Amino acid sequence: MSDYRPTLSRSPYGAGSAEVVRNNVLRNTYWLLAISMVPTVLGAAVGMMSGINQLMAGSPGMSAIIFLVGAFGLMFAIDKNTDSSVGVGLLLLFTFFMGVMLSRLLGFVMGMSNGTQLVMTAFGGTAIVFGTMATLASTIKRDLSGMAKFMFIGVVILIVASLANIFLQLPALMLTVSVLAIVIFSAFMLIDLQRVVNGGETNYVVATLAIYLDVYNVFSNLLALLGIFGGSRD
């Protein structure tokens, strides 16, 4: 998870131009979000085939440091290059990195006899959440951006709890974090999608990064819960 939230800006254009910008940003965001799943899958495959996932499993503390440094470093670089093709390239590199980081969890789940089924279930569940949030973002008239501050505090708490649990190893805390993460990032997904739908974001790279983080966290935490409650080692 990450507590970094890209800044979503208001449109500087007039009403007519703003409508065109809104439609372009919405279309480009969905396309880039779909494309970003390709390097994510490739990164996960590389992580599992190279054995990186096993190294991360053997050293969770170091893995957390690598994740935080790599993720925040790339997100900072993306934020500085959102108005050029370099930003798109860095975003795809970021999604590849996130795929590699995901390989630890995927390796654990795929080691179960029903691992493939669990991954597909998590994918389907995430797709349902995304579809639901996209529909709500298009129908809810109230501006939900004010919720972001409270959600951000929740994300910070989740990160602190996740880091603490590396040492505490409390199953109950891990379950609590995963459940709350799904709720919080589903809410963030709604907020970020609404901003794009309503024209509150004029940069599709920034919009894609925000929504990608929401989708990634919902999927990974849903998969973790499925692995705990629905996994089979038979």
Choice among 7-21, 114-128, 176-190 with the minimum mean pLDDT: 7-21
Q: Would 86 be classed as within a structural domain? A: yes
Span 110-134, average pLDDT: 93
Note whether residue 81 is domain-resident: yes
Inside any domain, residue 91:
yes
| CA trace torsion 156, 160, 166, 170 (10° rounding) | -100
CA torsion sign for 41, 43, 44, 46 is positive
Average pLDDT of span 135-154: 88
Q: Which amino acid is at 13?
A: Y
Q: pTM (2 decimals)?
A: 0.88
Residue 9 is assigned to a structural domain of this protein: no
Tell me the per-residue pLDDT of 63-76, one tens digit each, with 9 for 90 and over.
Answer: 989 999 999 999 99
Q: Let me know if residue 160 belongs to a domain.
A: yes
Query: Could you read off the pLDDT of 19-68 as tens digits, one per residue?
Result: 777 888 899 999 999 999 999 999 999 999 999 999 998 888 889 899 99
**pLDDT bracket for residue 170 (50, 70, 90):** confident
DSSP state letters, 49-70 = HHTHHHHHHH-HHHHHHHHHHH
Domain membership flag for residue 4: no
In 3-state terms the chain splits into helix, strand, coil percentages (rounded to 5) of: 80, 0, 20
Percentage of residues of the chain with pLDDT beyond 70: 91
Cβ atoms of 7 and 206 within 8 Å: the answer is yes
| Within-domain flag for 67 | yes
Domain of 81 in residue numbering reads as 15-230
* Residue whose pair of structure tokens reads 């790339």 in the numeric block: 74
Instruction: Select the more confidently predicted residue: 22 or 226.
Output: 226
In a domain, 1, yes or no: no
Q: What is the tally of structural domains in the chain?
A: 1
